[in-house]
Amino acid sequence: MESGDGSSKPSLAAMTCVLGDLSQPDGSAELTHGGAVVRAAVYGPCEVKMSKEILDKATIEVVFKPKVGLPRCEDKSRERLIHDVFEAAVMVSLHPRSSIMIVLQEMENAEGLMATGVNAACLALLDAGISMKFLVAAVVCFVKSDGSLDLSPETQRGQADLDIVASLTFVFSEKDLNIMCVSSTGKYSVEQYDSCLHLCREASKSVFKFFRESLERKLSKSI
């Protein structure tokens, strides 16, 4: 998405998604955002393991599979983040003593993998028709060495490590655009945090728009 007036205002990289292309899961999505590609599948609400059963709400289980090898500590940390986001966003009390499982497969790792993962999971949940309190959208923002901010990770490829000093991933709830989740790497000042927050919040609107359009497209096709 190019910004209309052609100015250098940071803009979000293009997103494409495929919804419901897997037949076995209840909902699935593959989201490409910039260089990062994540495939998400949702199963549920279905039976839950006795040990994980919660009496008054559904158990959200998240599995994040890396491209190669076994899941490591960083994948566990991603799983926890996605789990905590969707435990607050999904209407868990609708399905007590059951399990909603979100499986994410990393297809292509680039800057902003985490945000793509959250968005892919949200699309897959939409596709599975799981009731949610609100939609969530993740946007990642990069602070460059000269202090400027950037949203589109795609342009950073190749020389990413040299130029980016910090990255902040925000997850917003659609309701009031409040902050659901923040996760960051690198050092940045409070002012930079504020401007990143502002920039990401604006950008999240277009992510929500993208969610709606994708779903509309899919639903109009299937009728």
Partner 1 sequence: MADEFRTAQPKEYYRKFLEKDVRPDNRELGEFRPTVLNIGSISTAEGSALIKLGNTTVICGVKGELAEPKTETPKEGYIVPNVELSALCSPQFRPGPPSEQAQVLSQFVADVIKNLGNWCGCSALKNTALPTVTVDEETKKVETDFKQQNMLHLSCCPISSTCAVFDDTVLLVDPTSEEQTLATGIVTVVTDGKNICCLDKPGGSPLTDSQMRTCIERAFQRHREACKLMEDTLCSIDR
Partner 2 sequence: MPDTRRITGPESSLSPYTFSADFTATPTQPLNNGVRADGRQEKQHRPVYLQAGLITQARGSAYAEFNRTKVICAVEDFQMQGQITCEVKFATFSCQMRRQPVQDNQEKDMSTQLLEALEPAVCLHKFPKSQVDVYVRVLENDGSALSAAITCASVALADAGIEMYDLVVGCTAKLHGQTILVDPTVSEENAPSTGAGKPGGQVTLGLMPSLHQVSALAFHGDVDFDVLSQAVQTCQDSCQKLYPILQQTLVKTVTERMKDT
70 binds, among partner 1, partner 2, none (CB under 5 to 8 A by kind): partner 2
Hey, which residues does 28 pair with through a beta bridge? Answer: 41
d(CA 169, CA 186): 12
- 212 contacts: CB under 8 Å, gap ≥ 6: none
**Which of partner 2, partner 1, none binds 164 (CB below 5-8 Å, type-dependent)?**
none
Choice between 110 and 197, CB closer to partner 1: 197
Structure letter (DSSP) for residue 205: H
Instruction: Identify whether the C-beta of residue 178 lies closer than 8 Å to the C-beta of residue 150.
Output: no
By CB under 8 A, how many residues form the interface with partner 2?
5
Q: Up-side HSE of residue 127: CA atoms within 13 Å toward CB? A: 32
Q: Does 185 bind partner 2 (CB under 8 A)?
A: no
Does residue 73 touch partner 2 according to CB under 8 A? yes
Q: CB of residue 69 vs partner 2: minimum separation in angstroms?
A: 8
Cβ distance to partner 1 smaller for residue 186 or 219? 186
Name the CA dihedral angle for 192, 194, 196, 199, rounded to a multiple of 10 degrees.
-140
CB 171 within 8 A of CB 181: yes
Binding of partner 2 by 187 (CB under 8 A): no
Smallest distance from partner 2 to CB 66, Å: 10
Alpha-carbon gap, residue 22 to 53, rounded angstroms:
27
CB of 8 to partner 1, least distance (A): 25
- Name which position in 3, 71, 108, 217 contacts partner 2 (CB under 8 A): 71
70 counts as binding partner 2 under rule CB under 8 A: yes
Residue 190 touching partner 2 (CB under 8 A):
no
Residue burial 91-128, b: 16+ Cβ < 10 Å; e: rest:
ebeebeebbbbbbbbbbeebbbbbbbbbbbbbbbbbbb
Of 68-76, 120-128, 156-164, 206-214, the segment contacting partner 2 by CB under 8 A is 68-76
Residues in contact with partner 1 by CB under 8 A are: 73-74, 76-77, 79-88, 168, 171-173, 175-176, 178-190, 193, 197
Q: Which residues bind partner 2 (CB under 8 A)?
A: 69-73
